[in-house]
Amino acid sequence: MIFSLFKRKKKQTKKYGPKLRVDIHSHLIPGIDDGSQSMEESLTLLKGLEDLGYEKVITTPHIMSDTYRNNAENIGAGLKALRKTAKENGIGLQIEAAAEYYLDDAFYDELAKTHILSVSNQYILFESSYMSRPIQMEEMIFAIGEAGYKPMLAHPERYRYIKDPQKEYARLKELGVFFQVNLNSFGGHYGKGAKRLAHFLNEAGMIDFLGSDTHHNRQVEMLSDVFCLDVYHDVFKRNMIKNDMLL
């Protein structure tokens, strides 16, 4: 019997963690913010997310008074067109829309509007400057609750003004804030600081939601690797991830 001198290499297969069925943070409506810039690009992103196992996306265009002056009307029109084109191209994802509100001087005006773009009629997804904490941040969070919604902070790991994570994150939790961490932070996409804080939030059991924060195709491609990381498996052991409750 003749034996080969070379051992046949075993095919390496990725070991994926628990599948997420719902994504709650993305920028997929074309041409209205810094996300997708064309319907063709949006279709590519949607197909990529569907291939990763997502069944529903809640896309969240920016609302920023000095940069992206979006509102319920133009976001609604963009959503309608996106749904129609996705269906025509065989994409079966459920597509909904909310918004990612920026804590600026116009935020109180946004909360006073009749049509508030909330996530599943429950959560207001909000963000702030990466460099400086808004002076009235706690008052704005309180106002979200007064309006009948739950505050959800987008990518808390990315704010560079967080200097004492234990103290500052704990204070936000005391105020009733839900945390949505970007999945690609665990893969280092946003830098070492964001990765370090994402790990901190995981180990502290403070993560409530995970988001793709998809703007372009590279971020979708990276998710495939993140889903194989040990830390991604660990997130579901240490935290009560609520994404799929929104299906």
DSSP-derived secondary structure for 117-186: --BTTTEEEEE--SSS--TTHHHHHHHHHHTT-EEEEE-GGG-TT---HHHHHHHHHHTT-EEEEEGGGT
State residue 8's pLDDT score.
Answer: 45
Summarised one tens digit per residue, pLDDT across range 117-129 is 999 999 999 999 9
Q: How far apart are CA 61 and CA 56, in angstroms?
A: 16
Q: How far apart are CA 54 and CA 150, in angstroms?
A: 24
Summarised one tens digit per residue, pLDDT across range 179-212 is 999 999 999 999 999 999 999 999 999 999 999 9
Which domains, from first to last, does the chain contain? 22-246 (3.20.20.140)
State residue 18's pLDDT score.
Answer: 85
The Cβ of residue 85 has, within 10 Å, a number of other Cβ atoms equal to: 16
Query: DSSP label at 8?
Result: P
Give kind and range of the element (H or E) at residue 96: strand 94-97
DSSP string over 169-238: HHHHHHTT-EEEEEGGGTTTTT-HHHHHHHHHHHHTT---EEE--BSSHHHHHHHHHHTTSHHHHHHHHH
Summarised one tens digit per residue, pLDDT across range 49-94 is 999 999 999 999 999 999 999 999 999 999 999 999 999 999 999 9
Q: Are 132 and 106 in contact (CB under 8 A)?
A: no
Strand bridging mode 22-23 / 56-59:
parallel
State residue 14's pLDDT score.
Answer: 66
**pTM recorded for the entire structure:** 0.93
pLDDT over 90 (residue 152): yes
